[in-house]
Structure 1
Amino acid sequence: MAFKTILTVTGTHRGDNDIKLAASLCAEVDAHLSVLAVTLAAPPPIGDYAAPMSDAWMEERRADLERLDTRTAEVTRLLASAAISADVSNAYPEMAWADEIIGRRARYADLTFVGPDLLSGGTLRDKTIEGALFSSGKPMLLSSEGSKPTLRPRKVMVAWDSRIEASRAVREAIDILRAADDVHLVLVDPLEGEGRQGDEPGADVATYLARHGAKVTVDRLPSSGQKVADVLKRHASDMSAELIVMGAYGHSRLREKIFGGVTKSILEDVSIPVLMAR
């Protein structure tokens, strides 16, 4: 699909690198940039200590809101001189609901970009990733420090396992895959047979992508006792991939997001930009 609106999230104690990278992505594909500045609010005090702590809590909220307004103004000034269309908004959700708030905002974008500033750690990173993947219905692009995010990569690796999430990621990235010079569909320990990955694993999705004009190669790799994520990351590095496309796996239980093993391992080491969808 075409990416015409890209969302990125920033905190009050973050730098501007993510915003600049997101702006460059927008310039690359002629998209609009939406920036959401977020401060996570502490929950109100309860129980025996609620009354004596209420003044301190109110003061903390006042300071948080001042910092949020300041950050919003800073980002607005930064984007005023940018050669793209952009808008800036802010949110002050309680921590427990932050992923839902961010996810709802991401529904009005085609892609959420999570850059190195946000990926450096903290609760806001986790809430942004959870919201983008579980509450938006849209894909997410992650890029760590030192990587070069692009929506027009020449070499792309697709992690394929025939699951619905992988299919969704491929569909979301179809324009990227069509325009790339080289697309490698990578299957680790593929299983043959009906109800698994077909008589010739990878052939069906390769045909599907070829009909869209993608230049596809199917790579079937053994894990040889290694973690699937490690096999995928090494292969992406070996082929000099500029982007990895993959499905994100996990489920929601009591509002806690539990990621599957491969997804979690990839998130812990995003050395190559990764486009994820669920």
Structure 2
Amino acid sequence: MNWKTVLFVTAPGEGDADLKTAIALCDSSGAHLSVLVIAIAAPPPIGEYAAVVSEAWNEERQLDMKALSERVAQVSSILGASQVSHDVTSTYCELALADNEVGTHARYADLLLVGAGLTDERRVRTSVLEGGLFRSPAPVLLAPSDTPVRLDPKVVVLAWNSSLEASRAARHAIDLLKAAEEVHVTLVDPEASESANGEEPGADIATFLARHGINVTVDRLSSGQRPVATVLKHHAADIAADLIVMGAYGHSRLREWIFSGVTKEILKEPPAVPVLIAH
């Protein structure tokens, strides 16, 4: 896979398991690891009691910056003991600017790796996902816990619904799909339509991929009234998939990105295999 720079985001208070996953990924692929350590600033006090609590607020900010500095030192120490090419930067920013910070860094990376241990305390995880998916062109790789992440999957599920987002995801992953032994184009409750899926849902994307020399199987699944995300997770487990590739769907309400149902469920409860998501 021609991904030369991997961005990984961590925060104060996080463990090191995800960082070690990122190091292993870059070590196995020869990629450079760029680490962003981010801390969300406490909002400033407002209202009639602002003057009273401002001292406590200042103390909280000092503690935040101390924790950020300590996390940077921890990360730098772990990276220094590894053999991977790396750099470490940090930022202390307001919540409203956090997704922009992540997006800016992700614009100079081929891939944003999000570990399972990144929590949503102070909305860190949400900011990372929103910044990566909607403020940069880089795809996002969700890493499950306790599962090695490599860029050479043998069996891949490509979630397909003929959308622009799904098409972009397939193109981001085209080298992975070429190298895989099996690629399962998976449609849930597909409907034949001239404007979207065509007369034979999945046939068009299967033909496109086959012309790239990819071994493609089209799986048309019935949801049985289950959530689409659940169907995709179960199917990936049933065929022993190493990776799920899918598009991210969302819309903007003023500055806040709202994820659609399938994307939201996958992000909230990722499956036991890595998920590559592109918008």
TM class, shorter-chain normalised?
Answer: over 0.9
Residue 227 of structure 2 aligns with an amino acid whose one-letter code is K
- Partner Cα distance (1:39, 1:4) in 2: 26
Tell me the residue number matched to 1:231.
231
- Partner Cα distance (1:230, 1:195) in 2: 27
Structure 2 residue matching 1:177: 3-state secondary structure: helix
- Paired residues in the alignment total 277
Where does the alignment leave 5 or more consecutive residues of structure 1 unmatched? none
Residue 183 of structure 2 aligns with an amino acid whose one-letter code is V
Structure 2 residue matching 1:185: 3-state secondary structure: strand
- What's the CA shift string for 1:19-66, capped at 9, x where partnerless? 110111111221000110011001221221222222222222122112
Tell me the residue number matched to 2:248.
248
For the pair 1:275 / 2:273, whether they are aligned, the reply is no
Structure 1 residue matching 2:48: 3-state secondary structure: helix
- Report the Cα offset of residue 82 of structure 1: 1.1
For the pair 1:179 / 2:179, whether they are aligned, the reply is yes
Q: Single out whichever of 240-249 and 91-100 deviates more from structure 2.
A: 91-100
For the pair 1:13 / 2:26, whether they are aligned, the reply is no
- Partner Cα distance (2:81, 2:147) in 1: 25
Q: TM-score, normalised by structure 1?
A: 0.96
- Partner Cα distance (1:60, 1:220) in 2: 53
- Partner Cα distance (1:178, 1:28) in 2: 18
Q: Aligned ranges for residues 32-47 of structure 1 at < 5 Å?
A: 32-47=32-47
- Partner Cα distance (1:147, 1:162) in 2: 30
Tell me the residue number matched to 2:258.
258
For the pair 1:145 / 2:145, whether they are aligned, the reply is yes
- Partner Cα distance (1:3, 1:204) in 2: 27
- Partner Cα distance (1:213, 1:93) in 2: 46
Tell me the residue number matched to 1:61.
61
For the pair 1:73 / 2:76, whether they are aligned, the reply is no
- Report the Cα offset of residue 219 of structure 1: 0.8
Question: What's the Cα RMSD here?
Answer: 1.3
- What's the CA shift string for 1:63-100, capped at 9, x where partnerless? 21121111111111111121110000000011122111
- Report the Cα offset of residue 193 of structure 1: 2.6
For the pair 1:22 / 2:22, whether they are aligned, the reply is yes
- What's the CA shift string for 1:211-233, capped at 9, x where partnerless? 22211111111222222111111
- Partner Cα distance (1:191, 1:7) in 2: 38
- Report the Cα offset of residue 256 of structure 1: 2.2
- Report the Cα offset of residue 146 of structure 1: 2.8
Residue 43 of structure 2 aligns with an amino acid whose one-letter code is P
- Partner Cα distance (1:168, 1:230) in 2: 22
Structure 2 residue matching 1:214: 3-state secondary structure: coil
Tell me the residue number matched to 1:3.
3
Q: Single out whichever of 62-71 and 245-254 deviates more from structure 2.
A: 62-71
For the pair 1:103 / 2:95, whether they are aligned, the reply is no
- Report the Cα offset of residue 16 of structure 1: 1.0
Q: TM-score, normalised by structure 2?
A: 0.95
- What's the CA shift string for 1:193-252, capped at 9, x where partnerless? 310211221111111111222111111112222221111111111000010000011111
- Partner Cα distance (2:64, 2:90) in 1: 12
Residue 219 of structure 2 aligns with an amino acid whose one-letter code is D
Percent identity, aligned pairs only, is: 53
- Partner Cα distance (1:115, 1:94) in 2: 22
- What's the CA shift string for 1:110-130, capped at 9, x where partnerless? 111011211x44321111111
